[in-house]
């Protein structure tokens, strides 16, 4: 039996989800062709789709889902008899739309065992009814309200057939060196319930660990393939701090020259401040943190669990621990004003974080996908229109059209200059924003552009 696993976009990383699914299907006795269409579209041949018994798409994020549409349509058109599955966070969120494209099965979090079970049943004979697994308490599905996601015994991801790491994002070091980057996950899901987060409708406050031996074997395989740096793609690395610290200590002991990066929320950086020096000591190149906003009212709406003061404290803590903090933002949302956008830029400059912030972060607009907890709030509902199947989001417009216009202008500045000098782009955006807000030029002008950022960063810009 032949399967084809397809990834369409994973932020410039070699896809863990695809490699994990490949391991489970191969263990079930299937032949697997893994295709990363973002990096190696040439392998997506008609003959490959036509000969497959099972075609599965990994949809971990919004952009990946939109990019998958034409490929799903083509797969269904070429191969009416194939079982087509979609798995990952955005599969159940867009169930109706995916079904209209011809997808049979929709698997959300912790999908591997269910995918392997579908494959085994296909071998056994007659087609089973389509399988939909959701975990949200507000959605129908076989797992029902309050359902627990399974706790899997993971297999070591099988990266056979995926493009080499040299095709993916690299880590740009301040000294000009670049490192090949591997990607793994030590946990999935999240204990928290931030309103704007796509993890929440699927995991609903649950998180699941990947067994340490599996993670370390996956890291070792990627080191053997040339990786000098590992990105941990966990939604939040400190959902399980003991598990996390055991892993990075073991990683450092086995590969002392390796660096890594992780994502940790501000609340966890404060709560586990004692662990920060150990992250630095074990090779942590940077910590990404979804700060989202510096406006406490907006942070409360998003239920982020931190305040502006917490963010400022986290910056100081990371600096004291020799850790590079990389904040990300939802820069444009319905509660922004022209003045508060300028205030955000002033705060970034004032905290010495201009080099830390990727230019695309200054143009990120709040996404409201199907299932978003934001839709529970009047503050959000009064701004949104109908669900737009073309963008797979609820469209919203700002009550002040000048803010939407500023968003268009900032997006145009960032445009194709996603990897341009960060200081130059920041300075341009700041000048524009202050002009639009009727404010004088910033008193603390951004220092002149340098050739390179002063902090390590991944050179693949990303979208949600
Ligand atoms: S902490 Fe991060 S991953 Fe967890 S719910 Fe909030 S935004 Fe999502």
Q: Per the structure block, which two tokens stand in for 277? A: 């020096």
pLDDT (0 to 100) of residue 457: 87
199 close to ligand 1 (CB < 6 Angstrom): yes
Q: Which atom of ligand 1 is nearest to the CA of 265?
A: 1
SS3 237: helix
Under 8 Å between Cβ of 107 and 86: yes
Distance between Cα 85 and ligand 1 center (Å): 26
CB atoms inside a 10 Å sphere around CB 338 = 19
Q: Per the structure block, which two tokens stand in for 286? A: 């940077």
Probe target for ligand 1 pocket from 186, 198, 200, with the most ligand atoms within 8 Å of CB = 200
Q: Which atom of ligand 1 is nearest to the CA of 304?
A: 6
Q: Name residue 311's beta-bridge partners.
A: none
200 close to ligand 1 (CB < 6 Angstrom): yes
Strands 170-172 vs 178-184: parallel, antiparallel or unpaired: antiparallel
Q: How far is CA 45 from CA 19, 50, 346, in A?
A: 20, 9, 50
Under 8 Å between Cβ of 82 and 53: yes
Looking at residue 256, the DSSP 8-state letter turns out to be: T
> Which residue CA neighbors atom 8 of ligand 1 most closely?
197
pLDDT (0 to 100) of residue 143: 37
Q: How far apart (Å, rounded) are the C-alpha atoms in residues 364 and 381?
A: 20
Distance between Cα 24 and ligand 1 center (Å): 27
Q: Which atom of ligand 1 is nearest to the CA of 193?
A: 5
Probe target for ligand 1 pocket from 187, 190, 269, with the most ligand atoms within 8 Å of CB = 190
Distance between Cα 25 and ligand 1 center (Å): 30
Averaged pLDDT, groups of 10, the chain, 464 residues long? 96 94 97 95 92 97 94 97 95 92 93 94 74 45 57 97 94 90 97 93 93 98 97 97 98 98 98 98 97 98 98 98 97 98 98 94 94 93 92 94 98 80 93 97 66 76 55
Provide the residue ranges of all domains of the chain, joining segments of one domain with +: 2-133, 166-458
Q: Which atom of ligand 1 is nearest to the CA of 190?
A: 4
Probe target for ligand 1 pocket from 194, 299, 311, with the most ligand atoms within 8 Å of CB = 194
Q: What angle do CA 10, 392, 64 make, to 5 degrees?
A: 15
Q: How far apart (Å, rounded) are the C-alpha atoms in residues 105 and 66?
A: 18
Q: Which atom of ligand 1 is nearest to the CA of 235?
A: 3
Distance between Cα 263 and ligand 1 center (Å): 10
CB atoms inside a 10 Å sphere around CB 177 = 11
At the second CATH level, the architecture of 166-458 is Alpha-Beta Horseshoe (3.80)
pLDDT (0 to 100) of residue 282: 98
pLDDT (0 to 100) of residue 450: 54
101 close to ligand 1 (CB < 6 Angstrom): no
pLDDT (0 to 100) of residue 418: 62
Distance between Cα 146 and ligand 1 center (Å): 19
> Which residue CA neighbors atom 3 of ligand 1 most closely?
235
235 close to ligand 1 (CB < 6 Angstrom): yes
Looking at residue 139, the DSSP 8-state letter turns out to be: S
Distance between Cα 226 and ligand 1 center (Å): 31
Residue 133, phi then psi, degrees to nearest 5: -125, 120
192 close to ligand 1 (CB < 6 Angstrom): yes
Query: Does 2-133 match 166-458 in CATH topology?
Result: no
Q: Which atom of ligand 1 is nearest to the CA of 200?
A: 5
* CATH node for 2-133: 3.40.50.280
194 close to ligand 1 (CB < 6 Angstrom): yes
> Which residue CA neighbors atom 1 of ligand 1 most closely?
192
> Percent helix, strand, coil in the chain (nearest 5)?
40, 15, 40
């Amino acid at each position: 039996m032949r399967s084809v696993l397809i990834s369409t976009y994973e932020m410039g990383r070699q896809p863990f989800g695809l490699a994990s699914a490949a391991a489970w299907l191969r263990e079930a006795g299937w032949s697997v062709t893994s295709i990363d269409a973002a990096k190696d579209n040439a392998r997506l041949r008609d003959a490959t789709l036509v000969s497959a018994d099972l075609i599965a798409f990994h949809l971990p994020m919004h952009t990946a889902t939109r990019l998958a549409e034409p490929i799903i349509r083509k797969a269904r058109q070429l191969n009416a008899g194939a079982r087509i599955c979609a798995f990952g966070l955005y599969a159940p969120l867009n169930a109706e739309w995916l079904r209209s494209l011809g997808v049979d099965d929709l698997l959300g979090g912790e999908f591997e065992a269910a995918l392997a079970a579908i494959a085994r049943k296909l071998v056994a004979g007659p087609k089973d009814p389509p399988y939909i697994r959701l975990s949200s308490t507000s959605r129908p599905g076989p797992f029902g309200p309050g359902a627990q996601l399974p706790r899997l015994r993971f297999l070591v991801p099988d990266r056979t057939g995926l493009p080499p790491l040299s095709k993916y994002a690299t880590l740009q070091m301040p000294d000009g060196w670049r490192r090949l980057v591997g990607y793994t996950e030590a946990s999935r899901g999240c204990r928290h319930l931030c309103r704007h987060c796509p993890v929440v409708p699927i995991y609903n406050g649950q998180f699941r660990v990947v067994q340490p031996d599996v993670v370390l074997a996956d890291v070792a395989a990627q080191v053997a393939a040339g990786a000098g740096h590992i990105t941990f793609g966990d939604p939040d690395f400190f959902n399980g701090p003991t598990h996390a610290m055991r892993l990075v200590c073991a990683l450092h002991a086995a590969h002392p020259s390796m660096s890594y990066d992780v994502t940790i929320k501000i609340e966890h950086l404060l709560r586990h401040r004692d662990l920060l020096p150990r992250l630095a000591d074990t090779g942590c190149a940077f910590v990404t943190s979804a700060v989202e906003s510096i406006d406490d009212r907006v942070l409360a709406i998003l239920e982020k669990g931190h305040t502006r003061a917490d963010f400022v404290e986290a910056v100081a803590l990371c600096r004291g621990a020799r850790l590079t903090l990389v904040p990300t933002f939802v820069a444009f949302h319905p509660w922004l004003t022209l003045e508060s956008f300028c205030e955000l830029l002033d705060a970034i400059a004032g905290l010495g974080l201009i080099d830390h912030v990727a230019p695309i972060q200054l143009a990120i607009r709040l996404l409201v996908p199907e299932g978003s907890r934001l839709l529970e709030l009047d503050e959000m509902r009064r701004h949104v229109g109908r669900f737009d199947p073309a963008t797979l989001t609820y469209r919203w417009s700002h009550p002040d059209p000048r803010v939407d216009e500023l968003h268009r202008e900032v997006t145009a500045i960032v445009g194709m200059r996603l990897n341009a000098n960060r200081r130059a782009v920041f300075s341009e955006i700041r000048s524009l924003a202050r002009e639009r807000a009727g404010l004088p030029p910033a008193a603390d002008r951004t220092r002149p552009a340098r050739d390179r950022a002063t902090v390590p960063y991944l050179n693949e810009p990303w979208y949600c």
